[in-house]
Amino acid sequence: MSQPIVSILMGSQSDWSVMEHASLTLNELGIAHECKITSAHRTPDRHHAYVTGAAERGIKLFICGAGMAAHLAGMTAALTHLPVFGVPLAGGAMDGLDSLLSTVQMPGGIPVATFAIGKAGAKNAAVMAAQTLAMSDPKMAEKVKAFRAAQTAAVPEEPTGWQKGAAA
Ligand code: RP5
């Protein structure tokens, strides 16, 4: 097992069903990563210790998913010089709009690159992680190109279920 270079953080076990799509996509791209539950609110000391020790263990960027008052990505960005990708998660009374605004509205100087709410955001954060790593890794660039080509090839020209030739 190679050394993890991407860290996927989430605020709760309840976030895993969405954040696993980031992990699955990193697996598809052959990127070693680790997944941890560290809550900005419920486990602040665990979060602080993990994030501040990550760079020296070889982590190159973070993907952080959280819902409701989603401070996980912002708190991570506050503690590290590494890039932080934020994934707002749905749930609660506002169905993800609360976490989108909590994640994206960072003060100047402490950026969080924020993705779509939910599964698409989790997947895209992983693809963007690969694209970011590919800037200094030609082998990773080839993996990203292969991933994109396979994705394109998997799109059918006609929808399954269409009754071709049926009278209007
Ligand atoms: C956030 O609160 C978590 O990221 C999660 O999305 C949300 C609810 O957490 P649970 O009450 O389900 O543990 O901190």
CA of 11 to the centre of ligand 1 (A): 6
User: Closest residue (by CA) to atom 9 of ligand 1?
Assistant: 12
Predicted local confidence at residue 97, as pLDDT: 98
Q: What distance in Å separates the CA atoms of residue 69 and residue 82, rounded to the nearest whole number?
A: 22
pLDDT in tens, 53-86: 999 999 999 999 999 999 999 999 999 999 999 9
pLDDT in tens, 76-121: 999 999 999 999 999 989 999 999 999 999 999 999 999 999 999 9
Burial 40-74 (b: 16+ CB within 10 A, else e): beeeeeebbebbeebeeeebbbbbbbbbbebbbbb
8: three-class secondary structure by DSSP: strand
Mean pLDDT of 148-157: 97
Q: What is the pTM of this model?
A: 0.96
Ligand 1: residues within 6 Å at CB?
11-12, 14-15, 39, 41, 66-68, 89, 91
**Residue 62 · residue 129 · CB < 8 Å:** no
pLDDT in tens, 10-42: 999 999 999 999 999 999 999 999 999 999 999
pLDDT at 1 over 70: no
